[in-house]
Amino acid sequence: MSDDDHLPENPSDDEPEREAVRISEAERGIIAEAIPGRRRRSESKANRLRREQREADDFWRGLLNSGTIARRELWRIVAGPQNAHAFETRFMASPGGFPDPKATDYARGEQDFGLRIYHAWLRLDPVAVAKMHAENDQRFAHPVRRKGNE
């Protein structure tokens, strides 16, 4: 006697008849997007890259035009002293006071990163970038007019 003797000969005899599950095209698309690393079959790599660039442009343009708080935080990313310092060139020194070329190169990399983002924003929406400067850049601050000095 084997272990399979107590099993029915045809397992489907004990199960009720069920209709096969059919997945719609919409459901297939949802499933494909939910699985990380799985590409859409109908979209070529070139089309995907163009779509992703459009989405990124819309994202940044939306932030630039969403208000003063968003522009202030974007300004801090590109120009803040603890961030990319895009408009400030740094020549670093070691604790002993000697020039440190590696630290200077590192700071230049941060600056280049900030400038790349800044120029991308400038390409997308120059008016919003000008607003960002007017709101946050001290070099663009308007002089305060006083009575009698007009």
Enumerate the domain spans of the chain.
55-140
* pLDDT tens digits, one per residue of 48-77: 999 999 999 999 999 999 999 999 999 999
37 DSSP 8-state letter: T
In the three-class reduction of DSSP (H, G, I as helix; E, B as strand; rest coil), residue 93 is classed as strand
Enter the tokens of residue 86: 């895009």
* pLDDT tens digits, one per residue of 77-127: 998 888 888 888 888 888 888 888 888 888 888 889 999 999 999 999 999
Q: Quote the CA–CA distance of 138 and 36 in Å, as a whole number.
A: 44
Enter the tokens of residue 3: 């272990």
Q: Quote the CA–CA distance of 118 and 64 in Å, as a whole number.
A: 11
125 DSSP 8-state letter: -
pTM, to two decimals: 0.60
